[in-house]
Structure 1
Amino acid sequence: MADSDAQATLIEETPSAGDVEMTEGGGDAGAGAGEESGLADIEPETPKITVFLDLIKSPVVDIVVGTGNEQTTISAHQAVLVKSPYFEEKCSSFAGGSHSQIILSDADVDAMGSVVEYLYTGEYFPKRLSAAKDSPLENDPRIPKPDTEGVALLVHARIYTLADRFGLPALKSLAHSKIHRTSSTAKGEISYARYVYKETSPEDTTIRRPVAAFWATRSYTLRHDAEVEFKAMCLEFPQFSYDVLKLVLDQQEKSKKASHGDDTPHRGGPSVVPGSARKRARVSQG
């Protein structure tokens, strides 16, 4: 009797085959519901697109440029300025609700305006007339004709140095490409060379080497068109003199090797390629 009761109890506690199937089925249903719920929770996010409205809704920052009578305030939206690492760092220090102002007393007003124009539009005036690599630039009414002081070259050179300061390599490349599309005179070239050797780092061969190469290949013609200015430049910036001389000697050595068909140095006169002071032949980056 006791054995029969134990056996009956054991049978009641053991789930039947039907019960097992129902449990498994119920488990599958629960897992499916969980999976559905999980999928709903991890739907891919739509990428946030910054539209122009987002930029102009950001706080306005005043950039005070220049000193004295030349001082000008340029206002720009913070969301635009922070494309530059330099301005991003400056803006990060602004307290909420405070008047946002950045002082750039040593910057050129026109060049700073072009930098802001580039941050908004990706270009600056004068623009290239087409997408072609050798496309000329728009006419710039600010440039005198003839441009004896190198005004057009200095427009882009000043933008180049500001782009370097503000951490904008694409703008540096753009300004450099426009330098190569700009014509000038011998005296204008000297003004440009003086600015480059005064305002750029000796390690910045991107802009310095073309300057030295330009004078090395045209030194005879240009020296006679602007001998006084050329002499003053050489005395003021010995590094310019060395860079030009090195390129002249390198060219002379290559010419001698080519003519003699060996690697033995040979003595001889200077081998400088003459050229027009009015025609630029730089290699563009952009």
Structure 2
Amino acid sequence: MSDLEINDEVEAAADEDMAEVEGTNAGDGNAEATGLEDIEPEMPERTTFLDYLRSPIIHLHVGSASDGTTTLHAHQALLIQSPYFAGECDSLASTAHKTIALPHDDLQAVASVLEYLYKGDYFPTLAGPTSMEYDPTVPQSDNEGVALLRHARVYTLAQRFGLPSLSALAHKKIHLTQSTAKGEIAYARFVYREAAPDDEAIRKPVAAFWATRSHVLRHEAEQEFKRMCLEFPQFGFDVLSLVLDAQEKRSQRTEAQSSGNVPGRKRQRVSGIL
């Protein structure tokens, strides 16, 4: 075979190989994936504050007609963070003027809920892990429980609106609030009237507060405490149960010590560094 014939055969074979490659690349799309098709990752959509502000305005009518109604306005995209408001907004989907009535709720408490939805906190805001900013509206001697009741109302609304992070924040502020014996009684009355009977997170600390402060009851708020027990027998029972539990534990320790079953206390170790 001549060199010319060999070269013709080599070129023909090369042309066939090239044709196969081109046919594969231009095929019906069934070629194997190389793994490089989706080299750019999908970026999750980010909801911006501007997106919230572009959402429809919801009108909240707070208060009853007899006591006076105040209209507050909030953006729907922020409101629906609450399952309660999300359900209400769904029912208003085909309504032009979107209105939600809150006839039995406290105006200041509702405003605090809205402030939290917009800002992540409400006045008085946390100034640190164990302090809040100064509130000039609270009397120096808070016998009416103004500060405690403010946070208690926010707590109960947060529970109803399905905002657990807000209820936790309000609960923390309750424990950071200073008050008087009469103010504490006003707060206890609200808790036992408004909070759910099985809500031990807020009820139990109230009973424990009074169970460990009998001296305060006798000297500062005896009559208020008496009225509280008559109005809410469950409060009196809860306090009495805690007092009896504590007394029983003391009696058990005394009996154990008298029988010699309890080891003596160790002497406090004195440091050798002077």
Is TM-score (shorter-chain normalized) higher than 0.5?
Answer: yes
- SS in structure 1 of the partner of residue 247 of structure 2: helix
Q: Summarize the alignment of residues 60-139 of structure 1 with structure 2, pairs less than 5 Å apart.
A: 60-67=57-64, 68-96=66-94, 98-130=96-128, 132=129, 134=130, 136-139=131-134
1:120 aligned partner, one-letter code: Y
Instruction: Say if 1:150 and 1:188, in contact at 8 Å, map to a contact too.
Output: yes
Note the C-alpha offset of 1:257. 1.8
**Distance in 2 of aligned mates of 1:20 and 1:122:** 70
Query: Is 1:51 aligned to residue 48 of structure 2?
Result: yes
For residues 74 and 218 of structure 2, the distance between their equivalents in structure 1, rounded to whole angstroms, comes to 45
The 3-state SS of whatever aligns with 2:212 is helix
1:223 aligns with 2:223: no
Q: Does 1:208 align with 2:203?
A: yes
* Secondary structure at 1:83 match in 2: coil
Higher relative contact order (CA 8 A, sep 6+): 1
Q: 2:73 & 2:231 partners in 1: Cα distance?
A: 38
Distance 2:161 2:117 in 1: 11
After TM superposition, give the deviation of residue 231 of structure 1 in Å: 0.5
C-alpha displacement of 1:220: 2.7
Size of the alignment, in residue pairs? 244
Note the alpha carbon deviations across 1:205-257, whole angstroms, 9 max, x for none: 00000000000000232233111111110011111011101100111111122
**Residue in 2 aligned with 1:242?**
237
1:95 deviates by 3.2
SS in 2 for 1:194: helix
> What is the RMSD of the two structures over their aligned residues, measured on CA atoms?
2.5
* Cα deviation, residue 175, structure 1: 0.2
Find the residue that maps to 1:184 and give its secondary structure: coil
1:25 to 15, 21, 27: 21
* Unaligned runs of at least 5 residues, structure 1: 1-15, 265-286
- Give 1:110 deviation, angstroms: 0.2
What whole-Å deviation, never above 9, does each CA across 1:106-131 have from its counterpart, x for those lacking one? 0000000000000011100001112x
**Which runs of 5 or more structure 2 residues have no equivalent in the other structure?**
1-11, 260-274
Q: 1-side partners of 2:137 and 2:59: how far apart?
A: 26
> How far 1:32 sits from its partner (Å)?
9.6
Q: Which moved more, 1:147-156 or 1:252-261?
A: 252-261
Counterpart of 2:191 in structure 1 is 196
State the distance in 2 between where 1:116 and 1:195 align. Answer: 22
- 1:45 shift after superposition: 2.5
Show CA shifts across 1:4-49 (max 9, x none). xxxxxxxxxxxx9768745653465457977479825x85332111
How far apart, CA to CA, are the structure 2 residues paired with 1:97 and 1:46?
34
2:144 and 2:73 map into 1 onto residues whose CA distance is 31
Tell me which amino acid in the other structure corresponds to 2:171: H
Q: Distance in 2 between matches of 1:38 and 1:100?
A: 49
Q: Aligned-pair distance for 1:140?
A: 1.2
Which stretch shifts more, 27-36 or 178-187? Answer: 27-36
2:58 is aligned with what amino acid? Answer: V
CA shift in 2, pair 1:70/1:142, >3 Å: farther
* Aligned partner of residue 149 in structure 1, secondary structure: coil
- The residue matched to 2:127 in structure 1 has which SS? coil
What does residue 147 of structure 2 align with?
152
- The one-letter code of the counterpart of 2:100 is I
Q: Which moved more, 1:200-209 or 1:219-228?
A: 219-228
Question: Identity percentage over the alignment?
Answer: 54
Residue 21 of structure 2 aligns with an amino acid whose one-letter code is G
Structure-2 residue corresponding to 1:166: 161
Change (3 A) 1:64 1:247: same
Contact 1:223 1:230 in 2 (8 A): no
Q: Is the alpha carbon distance of 1:27 and 1:35 closer, same or farther for their aligned partners in structure 2, counting shifts above 3 Å?
A: farther
Quick check: 1:127–1:138 contact (8 Å CA) kept in 2? yes
